[in-house]
Structure 1
Amino acid sequence: MPFWVDCFILSPFRVLQSLSSVLTFVLNVLEYYRVSFGQIHPKGLARVLHFDVLCRASGYDPTLLLFRWFFRLAKYGDWFTFETSKVDTCLISSMVTTLGAWKHRLFWVSESIVPFKMV
């Protein structure tokens, strides 16, 4: 199963400190939309992680319902990503617009770390 290393290395927050809760939220989002890590463009995964951190920094637990209010799943070439939905409220003022050459930064992890069957 592919995973994107820059989500943990280049992020402005320390994902590894609360990896369990962050990973649980990410897996809930992916399970709801029936997509796997290998199908999500890194920009889309970055949006999920960013949403999680912003919620926690604001004193809220990230929920799937709240995430779906701000983002929607979209096709991006051969990948899926999360685009901002058409809501009046702005969640993130400066979004990542490009990640450049990111494919060489993918690595594989064992499917045994995922608590449900990925599609």
Structure 2
Amino acid sequence: MAEEENPVDEGPLRGFRFPPEWDARYPSQHQTAADAPPGYITLFEDFLLQGNFRLPATEFMAHILHYYGFHISKMSPPGMVRVRHFEFLCRSHDIEPTVERFRVFYQLIRNMWFYSFGNRGSAKKILLNPLKSFHDWKQKFFFI
């Protein structure tokens, strides 16, 4: 008998109130982030809890993913924090966030199977405070 998946309203994401038709759920005990069922994508809890990511995603996020050519489930939470922080800064100054502007400050970094963004060498840092630590983020995911 297959183990049943647990809906996210039973875990730390219950406060986000995903619409029932999204059928967001945690994986069963032996599933990995790569085991998303057909029709689902994998998202990491820290995207929402520490990265301020929300669904539906913004057009800027879609442009970032399209430009760099990877799926959102391959982005690390620290990468998500950098993208969202950049977008917040732009919008707070009435500047449209674009991939071209983002690339002035950040460069793509691949760490094993995940992607993140690091400061571009000569660019002024725009995220001055260190990122919060992300413990075991690869094990904290759900399907939506």
State the TM-score, normalizing by the size of structure 1. 0.74
1:20-77 Cα deviation digits (max 9, x unpaired) = 5x52111110100000111111111121111111111222121111001111111112
- Residues 88 and 74 (structure 1 numbering): CA distance in 2 closer, same or farther, change over 3 Å? closer
Counterpart of 1:63 in structure 2 is 98
Question: Are positions 1:30 and 2:70 aligned together?
Answer: no
Q: Distance in 1 between matches of 2:65 and 2:79?
A: 11
Which has the bigger relative contact order, CA under 8 A and spacing at least 6? Answer: 1
Moved more, 69-78 or 98-107: 98-107
- 5+ residue gaps, structure 1, are 110-119
Give the drift of 1:6.
Answer: 2.7
Residue type at the aligned position of 2:124: T
- 5+ residue gaps, structure 2, are 1-40
Counterpart of 1:81 in structure 2 is 116
Counterpart of 1:98 in structure 2 is 133
**Percent identical:** 24
Counterpart of 1:9 in structure 2 is 49
Q: What secondary structure, in the 3-state scheme, does the structure 1 residue paired with 2:58 have?
A: helix
Q: What secondary structure, in the 3-state scheme, does the structure 2 residue paired with 1:99 have?
A: coil
State the TM-score, normalizing by the size of structure 2. 0.63
Which of the two has higher C-alpha Rg?
2
Number of aligned positions between the proteins: 104
